[in-house]
Amino acid sequence: METDHNIALSVKNLKTYFYTNNRCNRAVNGVSFDIEKGKTLCIVGESGCGKSVTASTIMQLLPRLSRIEEGSITYHSDAGDIDIENLERNGQKMRAIRGSEIAMIFQDPMTALNPVYTIGFQIGESLKYHTDLTRKQIRDKTIDLLRDMGISLPEQRIDEYPHQYSGGMRQRAMIAMAMSCNPKILIADEPTTALDVTIQAQIFELMDRLKEKHNTAIMLITHDMGVVAELADDVAVMYMGNIVEAGTIDEVLRTPTHPYTRALLDSIPVLGEGKNQIIEPIPGSTPDPYQRPKGCQFAPRCTHYSEQCDIMPAETQISETHRIMCWKYQEFATNGK
C-alpha cells in the first residue's frame, strides 16, 4: 500500500453523498483502493452498492446534487501526484486529466454516443483537445484506432453515425474513443451488460490486449463473476457504499472471508461446475439507502450477526493484500470455507 511506483491511482476513505429530494444518500461511504499499472481491478457488488458512483467520483463526473465529502483520490501522474478531489469539477486541470490520463467507457454504448454526430467526429474530439495533431492527422489516427479495435473498413465507418453501428461495434468505438490518447487508467462501467455473450468475450479480449500493450491500469465494474475470474488481478467487493472485502483474485475467490462475499459467491452459478451446484440466494434484500443500518451494513442479512455488528467494523488487513471489514474475520479466516 506504500507509495509504489506501480500504483496509478490511490483512493483513500472516499465518501460521496447524494442530496436529491432533500435527503442525504451516503452512496459511497468510505472506500479505499489502489489501481496498479498494467493490472485489472474488478469491482463487484449488488445493484445500487455504489460502484458507478465510485467511478464517476474518480472522474469528477458527479451530478449536480452530490459532492465528495471526505477522503482523497490521488492520481500518480508522470509529472507528480495530483489530488483529484481538490480540482474544480469541470475546471481546466480536471479536463486535462479526463480523456487523456483517465478515460472511461460506459454501460450502454447506444445512449453514451451522441446520435447526431459521426463516430469519427466523436473520437476526433478527444484527440483535438488532448493532442496537437492536425485535422488530417486526427482523421488518420481515428481510422487507425478503429482498425485496431477490429472494425472493418474503418475508412468508411468513420463517417457513419452511431445508429448505423451494431451494439458491439458501438462499444468498440467507445473503447477507441477512450484509448485514443493512451490513458494511464481506463475505467469501464459494466461495458458489456448491454451486449450479447459472444460480443462480450470479444470486448474483454480487446481490453485485455490493450492493457498488455499500453500497460494501462483498468478498473472494471461488473456483475459477472465469470468475467472477474477471467480478467481480474485484484478484486474489491462492495456492499452499500463500502468495500467489504478486497484482495488479489486468488484471495477473494479462493478464500472468501467476509460473509457477504461468501453469500455472493454462493448465489452465483459457476461456469464449468455442472448443474449440481448448490445455489443459495442471499437472504433478505438490500436495505433502503436512506435507512442504512447503524453498524455493519450487511448485519441485518448476515447469518453470523451478533450485537458487536451494530458498530461499524474497521478495515482489517488479514494478509498483505487481503483486507476485510468484519468483526468476526478471525472466525472465518481460520475456519476457511
Ligand X SMILES: Nc1ncnc2c1ncn2[C@@H]1O[C@H](COP(=O)(O)OP(=O)(O)OP(=O)(O)O)[C@@H](O)[C@H]1O
Which of 168, 123, 149 minimizes the C-alpha distance to 206? 149
DSSP state of 283: S
289 binds, among Mg ion, other proteins, ligand X, none (CB under 5 to 8 A by kind): ligand X
Neighbours of 294 (CB within 10 A): 10
Amino acid in the structure at residue 198:
T
Is 113 in a helix, a strand, or coil? coil
Contact residue for other proteins among 72, 131, 148, 161 (CB under 8 A): 161
Decide: is 277 part of the binding site for other proteins (CB under 8 A): no
Task: Tell me: does residue 200 bind Mg ion (CB under 5 A).
Answer: no
| β-sheet bridge partners, residue 236 | 43, 246
For CA atoms 295, 301, 307, 308, give the dihedral sign: negative
Q: Which stretch binds ligand X (CB under 6 A): 18-26, 81-89, 112-120, 328-336?
A: 18-26
**257 touches Mg ion by CB under 5 A:** no
Q: Does 57 interact with Mg ion (rule: CB under 5 A)?
A: no
Interface with Mg ion (CB under 5 A), residue from 10, 16, 52, 257: 52
- Cβ 191 to Mg ion shortest distance, Å: 11
Binds ligand X by CB under 6 A, chosen from 27, 68, 232, 263: 27
Nearer to Mg ion, 190 or 251 (CB): 190
CB 93 within 8 A of CB 176: no
Q: Which residues are CB-contacts of 220 (< 8 A; sequence separation ≥ 6)?
A: 40, 41, 42, 43, 188, 191, 207, 227, 231, 232
- How many other CB atoms are found less than 10 A from the CB of residue 89? 12
Coil, helix or strand at residue 157 = helix
What does 13 bind: ligand X, other proteins, Mg ion, none (CB cut-off 5 to 8 Å by kind)? none
* Span from 46-54, 90-98, 194-202, 250-258 in contact with ligand X (CB under 6 A): 46-54
299 three-state secondary structure: helix
Contact between 171 and Mg ion by CB under 5 A: the answer reads no
One of 96, 265, 270, 282 touching other proteins (CB under 8 A): 96
Q: What residue 99 binds from ligand X, other proteins, Mg ion, none (CB within 5 to 8 A, per partner kind)?
A: other proteins
Task: Find, among 168, 257, 244, the residue nearest to 206 by Cα.
Answer: 168
Q: Is residue 79 classed exposed, middle or buried when 0-12, 13-18 and 19+ CB atoms within 10 A define those classes? A: exposed
When CB distances are held under 5 to 8 angstroms depending on the partner's kind, the choice from Mg ion, ligand X, other proteins, none that residue 213 binds is none
Residue 24 lies near other proteins (rule: CB under 8 A): yes
**Binding status of residue 89 toward ligand X by CB under 6 A:** no
Kindly list the residues in this chain that would bind ligand X in the complex (CB under 6 A).
18, 20, 25, 27, 45, 47-53, 63, 289
Q: Which residues bind Mg ion (CB under 5 A)?
A: 52
